[in-house]
Chain A
Amino acid sequence: MSVGRRIGGPILGACVSDVVALVLSGGGGERVSVLSSERAVSAIPFGGKYRIIDFVLSNCRHSGVNRIGVLTQHAPTSLHDHIGSGRPWDLDARDRGVMILQPYLTRGTAGWYRGTADAIAQNWDLIRDLGCSRVLVLSGDHVYRMDYRALLEFHAASDATVTMGVTRVPAEETHRFGMVTVDGEGRVAGLIEKPDRAETPFASMGIYAFETAALGAALREGAVDLVADVLAPLARAPRGVRAFEFEGYWEDVGTIGSYYRASLDLVAARPRLALDDRSWPILTRDEERPPVRVGDGARIESSLISNGCRIAGTVVRSVLSPGAVVGADARIEDAVIFQDVVIERGAEVRRTIVDKFARIGEGATVGGPGTAGPRWLEGLVLVGKDGRVPADARIEPGVVVGVGARPEDFAPGLLRSGAQLANHTWYGEDE
């Protein structure tokens, strides 16, 4: 089996300077429920202080890929806020830049993006005018650290019109991925979307290095989906598509289960994803927050706690974003807590993801062991942004508390497994 590997030795600068990266961040991700009801999946917080898209933007920065377009469609406000002028990634410079490529109207035909290929096609004039000979397509929903220079070098040295990043996944997880069969020469022979079983161990990482001209030609045919309408035909063409194997940690965090497991993996004894490698820092829009304030009766173990947090209670195997507050005698276990969440005194929160600004009232009990509730939720509890869980409420495993839920939504103070509270969207009225 000859699949491309990272190439040692010197890396040619010319290769990355001639590339524009397109980060696909348009997805609303039904599969992450309330976490993406007001933001794109790639804008979801991850690892305490980061957003998912930081991993890809940092990879670009450290790989020297300095021209980036981010394609957005679903709830892009958070992404706009986060990316801004691209300063945290040093992209706000004369010869670099990050552009948000949003859907737009013309007098002609353009409109909402109908698919990944359509999104690129609608921005093709702009992409082509950059004059780069290669286009690197990336997904904003994946968490990994990768030097794209190796893939681009590999691509430049081959005759293929496309090189795609692939990674080995366990046989029982093929249903989560686009699987890629590779022939004896390292060429892509087939693409199978989320099969229950596959002959191949290789999953597509959603990373494609295209020859610009070839991508442009394929898009002119009215392509909608990048895999079905562009890659599959190109794989059948004479020059074909090559596979490049990436051997490091890579995770698609686009479902609640994978997001949760990837988060808790960060607090395992040996995390598979290093956040503390000073040679490859994950860059983000850092909020100016004071150091973590640990109170007198606090107990914190196997956890990641971000600046601005104030901890008086117990936190075990959890990830806390900046500004989260844990009151005295509260207990947080196996949980993921976003920015500025307040867990009041005596509350217990287990196997739960709590979104920004939510508040868990005094003595409330949220989540616990087991997989009750809808299957996709895997027994977790999700508390949407700005949700207010009243004091002493009890929420069983497998419950979704909608965005902006109000105390009166919890009528008898108990939410049984499977309950899903509706979202209350905030339109500027007073709280």
Chain B
Amino acid sequence: MRSSRYAFILAGGVGSRLCLLSERRAKPAVPFGGKYRIIDFTLSNCVNSGIFDIGVLTQYRPTSLNQHIGTGRAWDLDRSRGGVQILQPALGSIQSDWYQGTADAIYRNLIHLRRRRADQVLVLSGDHVYRMDYDVLYAFHLANRASVTVAVTEVPEDAVSHFGILEADPSGRVIGFQEKPRTSVSRLASMGVYLFDRISLVRWLAEDAGHSQSSHDFGKDLLPRLVARGEGVFAYRFADYWQDVGTLDSYYEANMAFLGDHPPLDPSDPDGVVHTQSADRPPVSFQAGARAGRSLIANGCRVSGTVERSVLFPGVSVAAGAVVRDSIVMHDTVIEREAVLDHAIVDKQVRIGAGVRLGVGSASTPNRACPEHLSSGLLLVGKSAELPDGLTVGRNARIGADVRAASITADVPAGGVVNGPDAMH
């Protein structure tokens, strides 16, 4: 009987370095590129590679992700057999509990392999922006008779400390694996894309589950152990664009990279269309007097003012006299007359009052609440916040979700923090 393909997508990540953007949604559900969510890239890679049987593992704030995936219709994953299934942490059997680590999450869902005929199991991360034909990965894996193949990409020397770094011999066999090393001779980073031989995976996960000192994570525990004892671990070198959008700065820059004439990845490439849940929105309406340059503007937007070097998600309205510059503005945010946005990341359904100025002054004061993530001059406005007319907000500031206009009584200085009614931290 022909083997079929099955993929697990790990989508439970907290994404704490994305600060407000992932405060109320899992990182894979964070909007990206003017109409997508980060997980769209991985889901689309699957269907474009002929994988139509997928389990998405969720844990942290899954509502937004569940809503986005729905029945899977946008990806042609609403099927009678296979399709997409959300695999949530559950109670009810001896193996029930919150997922402890990535390996543990898969371990607790091995039941889903039982009636499937997949000889290999693809384990993916829902956190990355890239386009990959997993077919090629399967071919590499089979040609090398690997027990597990890890897709790797070359990263700059100063970035090795953010990734799992692999060392491979000329045949592609992995001979070293370090999770987030301070320095390394190798610059091959794990992309969070693993293709396992099914029998090996089941054996290794059961074995790892028995290690009381393990944190049950693929990168921290399982892979280093497999490499150390000489299992058939191979590295597949991926040369195209791959972006981890784990920090606010990398998130911002990755979005901006899509503005140029030559974006790193063309979402409409017929060989790899990026699919997403699209609402029924009319075309972008540019009014008399509108100005726009070097921007991505999605259906449902209404532009009367000026938009430069910015990404506007569906349904954003920019009133006459307003200026949006070097900013990312998510769904259905309303920008009133004469407001000016500079280097702002504004979440969904925000109301920015007339004459509001976002991103004024110096970038040298980091944010008071999250100085390590918000210090490069960007500013953040959380979902459904209301900014009163005439408000001025300095760089590196953070305005929480659901903040009411009446509760902001003074301008917000650089690095300032305004917490929403039920702030998480």
Question: Which residues of A does B touch, CB under 8 Å?
Answer: 47-49, 267, 269, 275-276, 281-284, 286, 288-308, 315, 319-320, 323
Q: Top 3 nearest A-B pairs by Cβ distance?
A: A291-B34, A48-B283, A275-B282
User: Given contacts A290-B266, A292-B299, A300-B286, could you give 8 more A-B pairs where the C-beta distance is less than 8 Å?
Assistant: A47-B282, A276-B281, A290-B33, A290-B267, A293-B295, A304-B284, A306-B284, A315-B286
Task: From known contacts A283-B280, A288-B278, A297-B293, infer whether A304 and B285 are also in contact, taking CB-CB under 8 Å.
Answer: yes
Q: Which residues of A contact B307 (CB under 8 A)?
A: 294
User: In the assembly, what is the distance between CA of A269 and CA of B304, in Å?
Assistant: 11
- Distance in angstroms from A356 CB to nearest chain B CB is 16
**11 CB < 8 A contacts A-B:** A267-B285, A276-B302, A282-B282, A290-B267, A290-B274, A291-B296, A292-B299, A297-B293, A300-B286, A302-B286, A304-B285
Q: Which residues of A contact B287 (CB under 8 A)?
A: 269, 301-302
Q: Which residues of A contact B313 (CB under 8 A)?
A: 291
- Distance in angstroms from B78 CB to nearest chain A CB is 10
User: In the assembly, what is the distance between CA of A267 and CA of B296, in Å?
Assistant: 20
With most chain B CB atoms within 10 A of its CB, the pick from A281, A283, A291 is A291
User: In the assembly, what is the distance between CA of A316 and CA of B268, in Å?
Assistant: 26
- Distance in angstroms from A59 CB to nearest chain B CB is 14
With most chain B CB atoms within 10 A of its CB, the pick from A288, A295, A323 is A288
Task: Tell whether, in the assembled complex, residue B267 and residue A294 are in contact, meaning their CB atoms are under 8 Å apart.
Answer: no
- Distance in angstroms from B46 CB to nearest chain A CB is 15
Q: Which residues of B contact A302 (CB under 8 A)?
A: 286-288, 290
User: In the assembly, what is the distance between CA of A315 and CA of B312, in Å?
Assistant: 19
Interchain CB contact (< 8 A) of A298 among B268, B292, B299, B311: B292
Task: Tell whether, in the assembled complex, residue A288 and residue B295 are in contact, meaning their CB atoms are under 8 Å apart.
Answer: no
Interchain CB contact (< 8 A) of A49 among B33, B282, B298, B311: B282
User: In the assembly, what is the distance between CA of A289 and CA of B35, in Å?
Assistant: 9
Q: Which residues of A contact B295 (CB under 8 A)?
A: 293-294
User: In the assembly, what is the distance between CA of A323 and CA of B270, in Å?
Assistant: 13
Task: Tell whether, in the assembled complex, residue A49 and residue B292 are in contact, meaning their CB atoms are under 8 Å apart.
Answer: no
Task: Tell whether, in the assembled complex, residue A286 and residue B283 are in contact, meaning their CB atoms are under 8 Å apart.
Answer: no
- Distance in angstroms from A90 CB to nearest chain B CB is 11
Q: In this complex, what residue of A is CB-closest to B332?
A: A278
User: What does DSSP make chain B's interface, helix, strand, loop or mixed?
Assistant: loop
Cβ of B343 < 8 Å from any Cβ of A? no
Cβ of B170 < 8 Å from any Cβ of A? no
User: In the assembly, what is the distance between CA of A150 and CA of B102, in Å?
Assistant: 56
Interchain CB contact (< 8 A) of A292 among B278, B280, B293, B297: B297
- Distance in angstroms from A74 CB to nearest chain B CB is 27
- Distance in angstroms from B279 CB to nearest chain A CB is 8
Q: Which residues of A contact B312 (CB under 8 A)?
A: 291
User: What does DSSP make chain A's interface, helix, strand, loop or mixed?
Assistant: loop
Q: Which residues of A contact B351 (CB under 8 A)?
A: none
- Chain B contributes a number of interface residues (CB within 8 A of A) equal to 39
Task: Tell whether, in the assembled complex, residue A49 and residue B299 are in contact, meaning their CB atoms are under 8 Å apart.
Answer: yes
Task: Tell whether, in the assembled complex, residue B299 and residue A306 are in contact, meaning their CB atoms are under 8 Å apart.
Answer: yes
Task: From known contacts A283-B280, A288-B275, A307-B283, infer whether A301 and B261 are also in contact, taking CB-CB under 8 Å.
Answer: no
Cβ of B349 < 8 Å from any Cβ of A? no
Q: Which residues of A contact B282 (CB under 8 A)?
A: 47-49, 275-276, 282, 304
Task: Tell whether, in the assembled complex, residue A288 and residue B273 are in contact, meaning their CB atoms are under 8 Å apart.
Answer: yes
Q: In this complex, what residue of A is CB-closest to B302?
A: A276
Interchain CB contact (< 8 A) of A307 among B261, B291, B298, B311: B298
Task: Tell whether, in the assembled complex, residue B286 and residue A289 are in contact, meaning their CB atoms are under 8 Å apart.
Answer: no
Task: Tell whether, in the assembled complex, residue A49 and residue B283 are in contact, meaning their CB atoms are under 8 Å apart.
Answer: yes
Cβ of B367 < 8 Å from any Cβ of A? no
User: In the assembly, what is the distance between CA of A45 and CA of B110, in Å?
Assistant: 49
Task: Tell whether, in the assembled complex, residue A269 and residue B288 are in contact, meaning their CB atoms are under 8 Å apart.
Answer: yes
Q: Which residues of A contact B283 (CB under 8 A)?
A: 47-49, 275, 304-307, 319-320
Q: Which residues of A contact B35 (CB under 8 A)?
A: 290-291, 307
Task: Tell whether, in the assembled complex, residue A281 and residue B298 are in contact, meaning their CB atoms are under 8 Å apart.
Answer: no
- Distance in angstroms from B171 CB to nearest chain A CB is 39
- Distance in angstroms from B247 CB to nearest chain A CB is 23
Task: Tell whether, in the assembled complex, residue B288 and residue A292 are in contact, meaning their CB atoms are under 8 Å apart.
Answer: no
With most chain B CB atoms within 10 A of its CB, the pick from A299, A301, A315 is A301
Within B216-251, the residues touching A (CB, 8 Å) are: none
User: In the assembly, what is the distance between CA of A297 and CA of B267, in Å?
Assistant: 23
Q: Which residues of B contact A290 (CB under 8 A)?
A: 33-35, 266-268, 274, 296
Q: Which residues of B contact A303 (CB under 8 A)?
A: 285-286
Task: Tell whether, in the assembled complex, residue A301 and residue B299 are in contact, meaning their CB atoms are under 8 Å apart.
Answer: no
Q: Which residues of A contact B299 (CB under 8 A)?
A: 49, 291-292, 306-307
- Distance in angstroms from A107 CB to nearest chain B CB is 38
Q: In this complex, what residue of B is CB-closest to A303?
A: B286
Q: In this complex, what residue of B is CB-closest to A317?
A: B288
Q: Which residues of B contact A275 (CB under 8 A)?
A: 282-283
Q: Which residues of A contact B286 (CB under 8 A)?
A: 300-305, 315
Interchain CB contact (< 8 A) of B285 among A276, A284, A294, A299: A276
User: In the assembly, what is the distance between CA of A49 and CA of B313, in Å?
Assistant: 17
Cβ of B300 < 8 Å from any Cβ of A? yes
- Chain B, residues 23-51, CB within 8 Å of chain A (1/0): the string is 00000000001110000000000000000
User: In the assembly, what is the distance between CA of A49 and CA of B283, in Å?
Assistant: 7
